[in-house]
């Protein structure tokens, strides 16, 4: 019975040793797994730190990018506003340019009309000047002719007055000689009367010439 009990005790001890060894191996394996887990945890912490720093850096870059984007958007809106103003200014300038072109063409047309009127006025002035010169020449010629006619008329007037004096003298002589008519005879009287008639005819001719002049 003791041997059986000893066998059972040895077997139980052997089983216990095996179990202890198994537990020891399991604990060793567990420690290895714990160390691996700790190593992985350390690596994970390191990776997490790196990732966190990278995330922070990316967040900073994101914020910077967002700021740049906002600035770019403000710049874009400002540029769009300036572009709109520039386009409006271009439109206004185009309209002004078109109006100036129309005004220029109108002024050029008016200038051409004024130039044509000026040329016509200059031609008329030239013609008027030539006519005035011709009129002055004609006036001078007519003045000379008038002076000549006046001088001729004065001469004719002197001749007429001279003839009137001669006629009056002859009439006086005739009256003086009427008393002597019977003595001189009819022939002398007829001759004297013929002379008087001739002188009167000459006087009439001179008077008519003076009237015609």
Q: With 60 as the cut, is the pLDDT of residue 181 above it?
A: no
Domains of the chain, residue spans: 2-212
In 3D, which of 146, 150, 156 has the Cα closest to residue 206?
156
pLDDT for position 213: 55
pLDDT in tens, 3-51: 667 777 777 778 778 877 887 888 888 888 888 888 888 887 888 888 8
Q: pLDDT band at 61, cuts 50/70/90? A: confident
pLDDT for position 212: 63
Q: Which long-range contacts (CB under 8 A, 24 or more apart) does 148-157 make?
A: 149/213, 152/213, 153/210, 153/213, 156/206, 156/209, 156/210, 156/213, 157/210
**Average pLDDT score over the chain:** 78
Distance between CA 99 and CA 106 in Å, rounded? 10
- The proportion of the chain whose per-residue pLDDT surpasses 70, expressed as a percent, equals 85
pLDDT in tens, 125-168: 687 778 767 877 877 787 787 788 778 777 877 877 877 777 77
Q: With 70 as the cut, is the pLDDT of residue 178 above it?
A: no
pLDDT for position 210: 64
């Amino acid at each position: 019975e003791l041997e059986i009990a000893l066998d059972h005790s040895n077997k139980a001890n052997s089983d216990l040793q095996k179990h202890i060894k198994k537990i020891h191996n399991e604990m060793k394996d567990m420690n290895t797994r714990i160390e691996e887990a700790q190593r992985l945890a350390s690596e994970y912490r390191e990776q997490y730190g790196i990732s966190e720093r990278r995330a922070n850096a990316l967040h900073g870059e994101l914020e910077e990018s967002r700021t740049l984007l906002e600035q770019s958007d403000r710049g874009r809106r400002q540029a769009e506003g300036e572009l709109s103003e520039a386009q409006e200014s271009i439109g206004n300038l185009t309209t002004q340019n078109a109006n100036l072109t129309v005004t220029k063409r109108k002024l050029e047309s008016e200038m051409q009309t004024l130039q044509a009127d000026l040329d016509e006025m200059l031609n008329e002035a030239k013609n008027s000047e030539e006519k005035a010169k011709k009129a002055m020449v004609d006036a001078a010629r007519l003045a000379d002719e008038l002076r000549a006619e006046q001088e001729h008329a004065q001469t004719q007037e002197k001749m007429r007055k001279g003839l009137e004096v001669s006629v009056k003298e002859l009439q006086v002589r005739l009256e003086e000689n009427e008393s002597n008519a019977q003595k001189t005879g009819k022939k002398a009287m007829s001759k004297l009367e013929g002379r008087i008639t001739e002188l009167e005819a000459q006087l009439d001719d001179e008077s008519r010439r003076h009237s015609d002049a």
